[in-house]
Chains A and B, each alone.
Chain A
Amino acid sequence: MSFFRLPRWGGFWLVALPFAAVCHGAEPQKLAPLKSGIEFASADVRRLQADDFENPGMLWVARGAKLWGASAENDGKSCAACHGAAAKSMKGVATRYPRVDPEAGRLVNLEGRINLCREKNQQAAPLAHESGELLALTAYVAHQSRGMPAQAALDAQSMKDFERGRALYHARIGQMNLACAHCHDRNWGRKLAAETISQGHGNAYPAYRLEWQSVGSLARRIRACYFGLRAEMPPFGAQDLLDLELYLAWRGSGLPVETPGVRR
């Protein structure tokens, strides 16, 4: 009897598989259970992140606090002159980024929003990508939302960016010919050489990465994945990176903000 059953089941799968693929493509799926990157980290990295003094990222937060009260070069207005105490005014702000800025009419992340504010309200030059000042200010602002669940605000304006980000996330790239989804959706929790593959959430960024010996942005981390896949890295500030950041924010929404996180 079993001899006859095998081909029948084989036929079932042949019919069922294309349907499964179509269903998967139609509705974006969030991972369950959602796990922050820190859950895949070793005990020493967890300890480093948990201790607010030993966590080296807190040095950037401390510098950001100084910059928050410092006057910008041109008109002498500081962030604090308009926004007051960041602990109150910036609480929860980082959970909503990246989003489409209503005035600029384009998708911006937290770094981009800080630079918009500099240009518009402080009449100052935008800070360079990955500069110490921008990382410090971003880390300081994002730190005010620590522990709050990230909630990507998808709306009609950001839908196009979101769909582009989703497509990028699932597109094979580089000499390795892999998509983000191959590691971070299908194989999280398993090993890639000595590393445990995480779910690839951005809730700890800007984070202190031991490999960098510095705090870096989520864009820098995504570029590092491009590098690992031997793909051409998009330049800092590229639309591709922003779209991916938005998709990551959506698929990780609900996870608490950890800034400044510590990662290997």
Chain B
Amino acid sequence: MVARVQLPQAAKRGEVIEIRIAIQHPMETGFRFDLMGKAVPKNVINSLRVRYNGAEVFRAELGSGIAANPYLQFYTVAEASGEFVFEWVDDAGERGSETAAVAVT
């Protein structure tokens, strides 16, 4: 699974920063049929968790209503220099993760 994350490399303490993540995933709804008429099993990224220096700052539960290649964006307050860890898992059990660092002054 390919994913891209984007957040400012440097921020001032107390500043609200924007965090964006895009994940390449088909987000199969389970309602589609292949060319042979067989149902394609549902496979969506069902949860995404973001931790900032160990503390959870964002969590999302995704379903079949989310389009392929989901893109999420949220805001948090820059408190200390450290690392954002993004983790997600899909219905097939495949896990993905990505990290990004921010320097807070």
Chain A residues with a Cβ under 8 A of chain B: 53-54, 56, 58-60, 62-63, 66, 213-214
- 5 residue pairs, one from A and one from B, having the closest CB atoms: A213-B68, A59-B24, A63-B2, A56-B69, A53-B6
> How many angstroms between the C-alpha atoms of A58 and B4 in the bound complex?
9
Contact among B2, B22, B24 for A53, CB-based, below 8 A: B22
B22 in complex: contacting residue of A59, A66, A213, A214, CB < 8 Å:
A59
> Which residues on the B side are within 8 Å of A63 (C-beta)?
2, 24
CB under 8 Å from chain A, chain B span 68-96:
68-69, 71
B7 to chain A, nearest CB (A): 11
Distance between Cα atoms of A66 and B3 in the complex (Å)? 12
Contact B4 A213 (CB under 8 A): no
B20 at the interface (CB under 8 A from A): yes
Most interface-central of A54, A56, A60, A214 (chain B CB within 10 A): A56
Question: Chain A nearest CB: distance from B11 CB in Å?
Answer: 17
Across the two chains, which residue of chain A brings its CB closest to B20?
Answer: A53
Are B26's CB and A213's CB within 8 A? yes
Instruction: Tell me how far the C-beta of B86 lies from the nearest C-beta in chain A, rounded to whole angstroms.
Output: 14
B67 near A: Cβ within 8 Å?
yes
- Chain A nearest CB from B63 CB (Å) reads 16
Most buried by A among B3, B20, B69: B69
Q: How far is the CA of A65 from the CA of B67 in the complex (A)?
A: 24
Interface of chain B residues 19 through 47 with chain A (CB within 8 A): 20, 22-24, 26-27
A58 / chain B contacts, CB cutoff of 8 Å: 4, 22
Chain A residues within an 8 Å CB radius of B27: 213
Q: Within the complex, what minimum Cβ distance (angstroms) separates B94 from chain A?
A: 15
Check if A66 sits within 8 Å of B2, measured CB to CB: yes
How far is A109 from B100 in the complex, measured between Cα atoms in Å? 37
Q: A54-B22, A59-B22 are in contact. Are A214 and B4 (CB under 8 A)?
A: no
Is the Cβ of A59 less than 8 Å from the Cβ of B4?
yes
Contacts of B20 in A (CB 8 A): 53-54
A58 to B3, CA, bound (A): 10
On chain A, the residues within 8 Å of B24 by CB distance are 56, 59-60, 63
**What is the minimal beta-carbon distance from B59 to any residue of chain A, in angstroms?**
21
A66 CB contacts on chain B under 8 angstroms: 2
Taking A56-B22, A56-B68 as given, write out 14 further A-B residue pairs in contact, using a Cβ cutoff of 8 Å, ordered by the A residue number. Answer: A53-B4, A53-B20, A54-B71, A56-B69, A58-B22, A59-B23, A59-B69, A60-B2, A60-B24, A63-B2, A63-B24, A213-B27, A213-B69, A214-B26
Q: How far is the CB of B49 from chain A (nearest CB, A)?
A: 20
Report yes or no: A214 in contact with B68, Cβ–Cβ below 8 A: yes
Q: Is the CB of A56 within 8 A of B71?
A: yes
Complex alpha-carbon distance, A160 and B3, angstroms:
43
Residues of A within 8 A of B3 (CB): 59
Give chain B nearest CB distance to A196 CB in angstroms.
Answer: 23
